[in-house]
Chain A
Amino acid sequence: MSIDSIIENAINSHSLAISLAGLVVYGIIIALLIFAFSYFFGWFERKLIAKVQYRHGPTYVGKYGILQNFADLVKLLAKEIIVPANANKVIIALAPVVLVALNVFIIFLIPFSPSLQASSLGLGLLFIFVILGFTPIILFMIGFASGNKFSDISAQRSVLMLISYELPMIIVVATIALFTGSYSINSLIAAQSKLPFAVIMPIGLFVFFVAMLAELERPPFDTREADSELIAGWLTDLSAPYYALSLLLDYTRMLLGGLLIAILFFGGWEGPFLPAPLWLLIKAFIIAFFITLIRVTTMRMRVDKILKLGWVWMMPLALINLVITFFLFL
């Protein structure tokens, strides 16, 4: 059902319609998966944070408050959309939707098992990170188009984060790609069947994890939507329905981060007994759990210190990882 095979099919047997239908079904499965993950992980995160803070978390709506997120969603969607007079209305209306769509598209491209995947693109890894690189740019656009100063500062920070954390991340990804000799995710996971890359390049894992935290706007790197200083950063002037969208975006990106780390460092769907997609999801869930634990305990770093960390520590570490990997394993 891959894009390659669609083209092949289209040329050979004129059955483009059937392949397209397959892609649509797969897309619906992915969309449901993302909604389910956002919903249940959102609930789980609320419960976990409440546990850390000696609270109960949601309890009233449904058993163990399981329907609380649904109630919140209804509340948010029922509210009026207000666009500020200073804002660029087209960008404000479209950019958040495009942002969610891009992140969903990346998950769509990620294979869940040798058989369950939309494409077996030879350049899959590269493609994913190219699309991922758009996120800060779109956040910058939203912040800039909002026409208020808090969003504006947030937009500037977004660009600073882009230039200082994308580079180490891409270097680590390039190391992995060079190590396996391929940009294809399938061959990447096949290369990890004996030893996951987390063992071979722990420094790379560290750099990638930190860069991913920065990419996902998770504490301690959530300076773009720093609530104690910038109110909500790029979200300040977006109305409630868009806020609901941004929450969906948050958990989509959390799932995405978990999936990417699981695929790049923990052997993807490799694992005994359970079916392959389940293994991948379990790994992603555990990583998301750790991201949440970090979220609930740390304070926010200042933006200049984050840049310093990026350039003084993450960048050299990424290069050291590259060098070590080459001299020891190639």
Chain B
Amino acid sequence: MAITKVNVGPIHPSTHGVLRLVVHLDGDTIAKVEPHIGFLHRGVEKLVETRMYMQSHPYMEKIDYMAPMSVDDLYVSTVEKAMEIEVSERAQYVRVVLLELQRIASHLFWVGSICNDLGQLFTTFMWGFRDRDMALRLLETATGQRMFYVNMRLGGLARDIPEGFGDETLKFLDYLEKRLREYEKFIEKNPIFIQRMKDIGRISRSEALDLGVTGQVLRASGVSYDVRKNNPYYVYDKLDFNPVVLQQGDNLARYRARVLEIEESIRLIRKALGKMPEGNALGMPVKLVSPPVKNRIVSVSRENPRGEEMMYMVGDPQGPYRLSIRAPTFINLSALDYMARGNRFADLFAIMGTLDLVMADVDR
């Protein structure tokens, strides 16, 4: 049969930003998908070179606008490693709580948007938004900003969490657990959802390893790799953390991996809030002129909501000489062609949805 080329995007209702896909269709079956990226390229890596260390936070946060704090945390950790700055224990706990709240917010948004990709009329999308907004409000009370926090400082945070933050967070977590049961009833018991997700876009364990995907895409294919477990940072090893690993490797497994990860995050926050020590969580001030760079070349990786994000930095006294970012969504997007081949055209958007793309992260 003749191949039809369909141009999807960069302006399309469900490409999650400005992604352009040239889809080669054989009837209704996908023969090939060519992603064309770069519409949101802002040259962050180059911009950072022209700034001093503590001037780059806002750029970092805009890399992943669905989970800004995790990228900021990664950048600060990289600089901390280069300068060998210790993070106080309380600051480590606070960072874990905030990062897990950020992960919950990001995953809640994803749970809503995947249903939208499957053609629902924004219902779960709005529900996810509502619950995500409560998480964002908590982050706002802790940092002063709703979306782009710029709260990380070398060796700690810009401000400690306020009085009563723990209680409010626990209240939110109780509420969220109830909501998750509701989501399960509404989404996972829906036969159309199962029909659209089960056995679609399946990749096996070895394929996932070969494709280099990380995050839930990898863990849903049966590989137990989570930076929080395999290369623990902060206090994750003290919190008895177990990564969510599923075997099926299809869309449904990737969905479940994310929902289960929300539950895992809830447990982590509860434990972290219970164990949180007293002390000073504040970091160094922003005015940091020519700090002592002890390790010139460092690389740090973190488990972000979308996968393993890594920064490689060559440091100079004033600012980074070179900063390179391994974006998880960029690598995951490169697997889209392989995952989508042989599936139906309508499934392309479901598969792309389960990769949880953020185009700012892909293009940087």
- Chain A residues proximal to chain B, CB less than 8 Å: 49, 52-55, 149-150, 153, 219-220, 222-223, 226-229, 231, 295-305
Contacts and interface: CB of A to CB of B under 8 A. Distances in A.
A174 B123 CA distance: 38
Contact of A55 (B28, B115, B126, B346): B126
Given A49-B121, A54-B127, A296-B121, A302 B349 contact: no
A-B pairs with lowest CB-CB distance, top 7? A300-B119, A53-B126, A299-B118, A228-B14, A299-B120, A302-B346, A299-B192
Q: Mostly helix, strand, loop or mixed at chain B's interface?
A: helix
Contacts of B195: 301-302, 305
B349 A300 contact: no
28 contacts: A53-B122, A53-B126, A54-B126, A54-B127, A149-B4, A150-B6, A153-B345, A226-B119, A226-B346, A227-B119, A228-B14, A228-B117, A229-B345, A295-B121, A297-B120, A297-B186, A298-B120, A298-B192, A299-B115, A300-B118, A300-B119, A301-B192, A302-B195, A302-B196, A302-B344, A302-B346, A303-B344, A303-B346
Q: Mostly helix, strand, loop or mixed at chain A's interface?
A: loop
B6 A298 contact: no
B347 interface: yes
A219 B6 contact: no
B26 to A, nearest CB: 13
B241 interface: no
Contact of B13 (A228, A300, A304, A305): A228
B193 interface: yes
Nearest to B118: A299
A276 to B, nearest CB: 34
Given A54-B130, A229-B349, A302-B347, 14 more contacts: A150-B6, A220-B119, A222-B119, A227-B13, A228-B13, A229-B348, A296-B123, A297-B186, A298-B190, A300-B120, A301-B195, A302-B196, A304-B28, A305-B195
A209 B186 CA distance: 22
B116 interface: yes
Contacts of A220: 119, 192
Contacts of B196: 299, 301-302
Contacts, number: 81
Contacts of A299: 115, 118-120, 190, 192-193, 196
Contacts of A231: 12-13
Interface of B: 4, 6-7, 12-14, 28, 115-123, 125-127, 130, 186, 190, 192-193, 195-196, 344-349
A88 B270 CA distance: 63
Contacts of B4: 149
Contacts of B344: 302-304
A69 B146 CA distance: 33
Contacts of A302: 195-196, 344, 346-347
A297 B125 CA distance: 11
Given A54-B127, A149-B4, A301-B192, A229 B120 contact: no
Contacts of B7: 149
Nearest to A223: B346
B119 A303 contact: no
Contacts of A222: 119
Most buried by A among B115, B190, B346: B346
Nearest to A222: B119
Nearest to B6: A149
Contacts of B121: 49, 219, 295-296
A22 to B, nearest CB: 42
Most buried by A among B115, B130, B345, B348: B345
B6 to A, nearest CB: 5
Contacts of A223: 346
A235 B190 CA distance: 29
A53 B13 contact: no
A300 B123 CA distance: 13
A229 B21 CA distance: 12
A296 B116 CA distance: 11
B187 to A, nearest CB: 9
A227 B192 CA distance: 17
Nearest to B14: A228
A299 B350 CA distance: 12
Contacts of B120: 219, 297-300
Contacts of B116: 228
A228 B13 CA distance: 6
Contacts of A52: 123
